[in-house]
Structure 1
């Protein structure tokens, strides 16, 4: 059995990374909602990702608190299954939120002639599909005995990686497919941008087609490549978080002897830690949001310096 110190360190690492992630998510959402210049389709999809991440981190904190308790063997089984299902659902929503962001960029960069694909209504439908898929996909483990349940090695309520069919289902449908969608879509965008010979000056964000002197403007290639690079970087970070879980699943499927017990908890923790790192990257890559925060901090520091100067002069 692993020592209590191992669980304490790992669960506190999860709690700290979750708090950081929740803070950044709420900060991004509040700035986008309260600043009109941030009301774009791209930022609405960003908010969708932030909502999924916030809820996921909340459940991870709850799971960590239970994992720190000494009476962890006595958890209520229905509540344990509910927590496992919700965590898997939110993880699915997170991964597929990147897929719909990639599909949105495909609409704007490649399919921009179909104006109905560029509307708010279409993107609201994409968000609804994102959450519908996220609710449906994690249902399958309910149909397997002990598909969801308490895992002693990690002191967590999870979908068990010990049943090969279920763990393979989770890896393929929740991680591999959405990340492959992102890769394929960005490959198409990269190909089309490089093949395009009709690039024109930068147009306003989310304004892909317009007519000026009877000429149709096409998406700005540099901007699309930059957005694609940012989204690819975030998807890569998320992929790194799932590597250990993938190794654990492959180990259980191919090896006769069981993997080290510490793999079970570390596989869960890496997802949370890399998701927090991804949120830091998301914040730094969102220039409008970062600029608003920077301006606010600058103004706040300016006011404090002015107040301190006035007090010095008065004294």
Structure 2
């Protein structure tokens, strides 16, 4: 597994090198993937942004489907063992939990989609339009990714009740 990890870490950045996908940006003094070469730009959009976002959407969908099925199994098991009809008091907490999970997944997926949307727009702008994109668009696109990663970390912190209570408890002990 470690060997596969090392091989992938070596091969993934090689593709833009083959397609002349890196350029030296004078303003930032960095070699970055260019959006002017379409195969390289498409690769940079797909590998770090589209594939992880789609993978997370599929994983979240599988988790949600599993939760819904387990909720139905529990409700049917309670109905069979108690020989009574299942009331709304038994099913309501499950639906509330499912709605809460859906809200969290929806928020996280929207943060991911917004994080890369400016970069996708600037990339397609450079490919479609004969004139280059405005100079402020590319730095904003890169900064938006960084900002939305920070927003995602704060959002995950705010969504986790256990983590919040542990940190509040730790803070109250020291101050």
Q: Same fold (TM over 0.5)?
A: yes
Q: Structure 1 CA distance, aligned partners of 2:139 and 2:28?
A: 4
Q: Unpaired segments of 5 or more residues in structure 2?
A: 76-93
Give the root-mean-square deviation of aligned CA atoms. Answer: 3.0
Deviation at 1:257, TM superposition (A): 1.1
Deviation digits for residues 227-274 of structure 1, max 9, x if unmatched? 564344233213211111100111111111111011121111111111
> Which among 40, 43, 46 is matched to residue 166 of structure 1?
40
Larger relative contact order (C-alpha < 8 A, sep ≥ 6)?
Answer: 1
Determine if contact 2:19/2:39 at 8 Å carries over to the other structure. no
Please give the TM-score of this superposition, normalised by the length of structure 1: 0.43
1:19-30 to 2 correspondences below 5 Å: none
> Which among 4, 15, 20 is matched to residue 140 of structure 1?
15
Q: Structure 1 CA distance, aligned partners of 2:99 and 2:5?
A: 24
Deviation at 1:198, TM superposition (A): 1.0
Q: Unpaired segments of 5 or more residues in structure 1?
A: 1-124, 201-219, 302-315
Number of equivalenced pairs: 156
What residue number does 2:26 align with?
152
Please give the TM-score of this superposition, normalised by the length of structure 2: 0.72
Determine if contact 2:126/2:132 at 8 Å carries over to the other structure. yes
Specify whether residues 247 and 135 from structure 1 end up closer, same or farther in structure 2 by C-alpha distance, changes over 3 A only: same
Specify whether residues 143 and 166 from structure 1 end up closer, same or farther in structure 2 by C-alpha distance, changes over 3 A only: same
What residue number does 1:284 align with?
158
Specify whether residues 239 and 131 from structure 1 end up closer, same or farther in structure 2 by C-alpha distance, changes over 3 A only: farther
